[in-house]
Structure 1
Amino acid sequence: MNPPVPLAKLLPVPKDLTGRLALAGGGLFLGQWFLGDLLHVPGGGLGVLLTGAGVWWLSRGSTPPRFQEPASLQGWIARCREVLDQFETLEPDGGVRRQQLDAVVQRSGPQRLALVCVDPATCPQQGELEQALAGAAPLTLSVARPLASAEGARTWPTVLQEQELILFSLAAPLLAEDLLWIQQLPEDQPTWLLVRSTAGESDRHCSESLLAQLPARWVDRVLVQRPDGLLRDVLQPLRRQLGAPIRNLQDTRQRLLRGLHQQWQADLEQVRRRRFQALQQRTQWIVAASVLASPLPSLDLLAVAVANGLMLREMGTLWGTDLQPDVLREAAGQLARAALAQGVVEWSSQMLLGLAKLDGGSWLVAGTMQAISAAYLTRVVGRSMADWLALNAGVDALDLERLKREAPVLVAKAAEQERLDWGGFMKQSQQWLLHATS
C-alpha cells in the first residue's frame, strides 16, 4: 500500500477565495474517499458537502494574539499571580506557593556575591577579596564549597541562583573540567570569571586564549589576574556593577520569579494533563456514540466536529488561555489536516480490520469501526492540541505560522504515544461498546 500523501503539499492553507475553493474541493474528495472507499459506508451528496464544509470551516484564517514574556518586575509578579490563580482553581496547595512568591517579592539587600571554584588553590583569600571589594556598596560575601561532580554528573547548585553575582575563580590554562562546569552556569546568572594567568604571560594574550575557548557570553566578563597584580585593580569592572545595588536586586528578583514561573508551569502542566485525560476519554466516547447512533452516515463528521469543538473550548479554559474560538479552530484545523495526511484514520481502520479478521463474529461491523476510528482520531488531535497549548501556556508568543510548520511533528509524536497504548484503547472500546449496546 502506498503511504498517504501529505495534504500540506496538495492543500495549502488558503489565504484567498481561490485557496478556500481548492481546499473545499479537496475536502469533497477526502470525504468521498473516507465514507466510501475506506469505511464502505453508503452516503449521498449531503455527506460530501458536509465534509467539504467542515474542512472550509477549519481552514478559515485568523489573526492570532501575541503573548509576550514580561519585561519588568511588576509584569513577572502579575504573571506569577495569574499562574497561582490557575493553580488554585485546579488544585489548591494551602498557600505554599504564595509564600514562595511573597519571599521573592519582599527580598531586599544587601547584595549577595558568592566566590566559586573547582580547585580551592585558585581562589583568593576571603580577607583579600573583601578588601578588594570594599566601598563598592553594601555586600554579603560568601565562599561556596568547591564544585564537585556526583557520579560523573555536574549540577549547578540551586542555592547559588539567589546570589546577585557569582565570581568564578579559575587558573589558566583552563582544564576540561573547568569548561564543563562553565557550561553548566545558567545563562541568566550574572557571573564573572576570575582567571589567574601564568607567570610571564601578558593579560592580552591570556584573554585572547581564554575567549577562544569560551562562548560569546563571556566577552567582557573575564578578569585576568597576574601573579603579582593587585586584586582590587583587577576587580574594578565587578566593583562598577556592584555600584548599582537597586538594579542588581531587582534583576535578581525578576530572575527568581522567572524560575518560580517555570517550575509552577511544569507542576501545573502535570495537573492539566490529568484533567485532560479525563476530558479526552469523555469526548472520544461522545464522538463514538454520536457516530454509532447517527441514522445517516453523512452526518457523522458533523457530530465529530461539534464534539471536538467543545473539547477544544474546555482545553482552552484548562490551559488558562484567552484564545478566541477562531484561533483554536485554526490550530485544530492544522492538527487535523496533519493527522489525516499522516494516515491516522487509515492506520486505526487497518488495525480494526485486522482484529475483525481474527474474530469471525466480531463486533467490529462498519458502524462500530467508523465510531472507534473517529474516537481514535479525537485522541490524537486532542493530545496534539494539549502539547501545543503546553508549549504556549503564558510563556512564549502564540504563533500559528509556527504551528503550521510544527503540526506534523506534534501529530507524529501524539500518534506514536497513542499507538503505544493501542491495547488499552481497545479494551476501553470494548467496554464502551458493551455499555452502549446493552
Structure 2
Amino acid sequence: MLFLIALIIAAFVAFCLDKPLKKCPAAFYITAAVLTIASIVILQSDIRITSRFVRDYVLGIFSRGAMGTAFWALVMWAGAFPNGSAPIKKLMPIRGELSITAAILTFSHIITYGMQYITNLINGRTGSDFVITSIVCLVMVLIMTPLTVMSVKKIRKKMNAKTWKKIQRLAYIFYALIYVHILVLFLPKAQKGREGYFLNIIVYSAVFVGYAVMRIRKYYLANKKPEKKLVPNAISACAFALPVAFVGIFAHNTDVKPSEPSIVTEEKAGTFTFSPETTAVTGTAVTTAKDSKKSSETTAVTDKSEKTTTSEAVTTAEKKEKTEKSDSTGEEHGEEHNSEEPAQEQNEEAQPANEPEVTYKYRNGEYEAEAEGYAGKVHVKLSIENDSITSISAWADDDDPEYFNDAMNTVIPQIGAKVSADGIDACSGATYSSNGIIDAARKALEQAMN
C-alpha cells in the first residue's frame, strides 16, 4: 500500500510537473533534501509519534524507502517504454532530474536504517537477513552515489559520451539489487502473514519483473526487427506472469489461522520471571517479648527468603522457651500458675494488636494491558505479589519479532527491578516497540494500584 501511494505521487510529479522540474530542478532537489532531513531528525530524536498514520504514511513513506524506490521505478521504466510512446516522451527529458531526486529521497532510508544496523552490529544482533541485507545495501550505495553525481548536467557534459554510457549500465545491477533487497526483507514477513507484505511483494514484483521483461523485449525488437510482434509479445507476457505468480505463491502465508489468534499470540509471548530478592524492601514492625518484660523494637525486614526464615526460627525458639518455663512454674506453684495463666494468655492475645498493618502499593494478582507498538498493538501481562513483580509476559501483533525481542530484553528487566514503568531506558533501534511495552506495563500497574 505504501509503495502504491508513493508511485502515484512520483507519477504525478513526473507527468504533471515535468516542465517545472526541467526548468528549475534545484527547487525539487531542495524539497527532497528537506523532507529527507526532516524524516531522519524526527525518527532519530526522542520525539514520540503516537499516530500510526503519521509514522507510516507521512514519515514512513520516506524512511522506509518507498518514495525513493517509486522515483527509481520511473527512471527505470523511462528506458523500457517503446520508442516514440507518450510515456517515454514525458520521462526521457527529465530522467536525469528524476534520478537525482530519487537518490536524495533514498538517503532517508539509507541513513535511518543504516544507523539501526550499525547499532545492532555493535550490540551483537545479527538476524538471518542481517548479513545479506548489509552487503546488498553497501553495494547499492557504492553504485548509486557515483551514478547520481554523473547525472548532474555539468559533470555529464565534461565526460566522454561512450564512457558515461558504459558506467551508467551499472544501473541495471542497482535495479536488480533493489528487488533482491525487498525480497530478502519482505518474504519472511509475508510468509508469516504480516499484514500488507504480501501485497507489497506482488506490486514490487510487477514493477521490477515487468521492467526487466519490457527492457529485454525492447532490445530484441530493436536488434531483430521481427515483422510480427505476436510471438515476442506472448513470450513477454509469459515471462512476466510466471515469475510474479511464482513469487506470489512462495510469499503466500501457508499457516492455518486459528479462530482466536490472540490466544496463539499469547502462547508465543516472551515471559520473564523475577525472584523476590530482586525487588524492593518492605518495612514492617515486629514486637518481641523476653521473660516477663515486653519490649517493642521496629526493624526493617527485607523480603529475602533467608532473613525471613531466620526471624521465624527465632520467634519459634522464644515461644518454645516460654512454654517450657511456664510448664515448670506450673508444676512447682500449682494454683499460682493457674491464676497467672489467663493474664499471660491475654497478653499474648493482645500482642498482635500492637503490630501495625502492612500496606501495599499494588494489589496481588495478574494484570494485562495493551499499547501501540511499531506496527500494531503490544500486549503485556504481569503478576504481582506483595509489591513485587514475579513475572512479565509481552507479545506483539505485528512488530518485527527480532526488534521486539531486543526491546523486551532491554525494557522488561528494568520494569521488573523497579516495579515501575517510569524512568525506563528504551532499546536503541527498537524505540517504538520499547515504548509500547513500557506504556502497556504502565497501564497494567495502574490497574493493580490500591
TM-score bracket, normalised by the shorter chain, equals under 0.3
TM-score after normalising by structure 1:
0.24
**Greater C-alpha Rg:** 2
TM-score after normalising by structure 2:
0.24
Q: Relative contact order (C-alpha < 8 Å, sep 6+): which is higher?
A: 1
